[in-house]
Amino acid sequence: MTQTQDAPAQTRTRTFSWTDPSEHVKLLATRTGLDILRSMAAGELPPPPIFQLIGGSGLHAEPGSVTITLDPQEFHYNPIGTVHGGIISTLLDTAAACSVQSTLPLGVGYTSMDLNVKFLRAVTVTSGTLTCTGAVLQSGRRTALAEARLTDAQGRLIAHATSSCLLFELPKP
């Protein structure tokens, strides 16, 4: 019996860069959440490092709603050849939480308290551009509830999530 040897795997590389995240933090004392998000969407401010890390491709912000896009790539894959659930969860968390950010006045910050995700379909590079839209469902003095929906290029629902965010006063500069 002859033993065969598999051909070596083709090596792929990816290089990326990011900007200093403290630049965004400094702006929180002088701009509303919506203003910061719209400045990122217009290219006047760089996106946060996590968006650059996953290769996000678009951002649109309105009061109470944020939409982000991503083109699935091989570097998003898990061991079974589909986009890792952590990437999908990151998109959902970003859209939901940034929707909350889009409603915040000057001097108020937020952080996610929880994220409840339901995965409905697998995602691969053939899924086309993913669109994730978040919306604020309810906002109070200390907490906000938001949801996000992720669809593929054909408009099929891939996953959805709800998120609770804690609202807090930012330290004075």
CA distance 130 to 18: 22
Residue 7 pLDDT greater than 80, yes or no: no
What backbone torsions phi and psi does residue 143 show, to the nearest 5 degrees? -140, 160
CB 70 within 8 A of CB 31: no
Q: In the chain, what are the domain boundaries?
A: 22-169
Tell me the percentage of the chain whose pLDDT exceeds 90. 76
Instruction: Say what the pLDDT of residue 16 is.
Output: 83
Model confidence band, residue 9 (pLDDT cutoffs 50, 70, 90) = confident
CA distance 52 to 101: 19
CA distance 1 to 13: 37
The CATH code belonging to domain 22-169 is: 3.10.129.10
| Mean pLDDT along residues 82-100 | 98
Instruction: Say what the pLDDT of residue 171 is.
Output: 85
The distance between the two most distant Cα atoms of the chain, rounded to a whole number of Å, is 75
Q: pLDDT: is 67 or 16 the higher one?
A: 67
CB 59 within 8 A of CB 68: yes
Through-space distance between the first and last CA atoms of the chain, rounded to whole angstroms: 75
- At residue 48's C-alpha, the angle toward residues 110 and 76, to 5°, is 110
Instruction: Say what the pLDDT of residue 154 is.
Output: 98
Instruction: Say what the pLDDT of residue 102 is.
Output: 98
CB 133 within 8 A of CB 123: no
Cα 93 off chain centre by: 6
Which amino acid is present at 113?
M
110-131: pLDDT as tens digits? 999 999 999 999 999 999 999 9
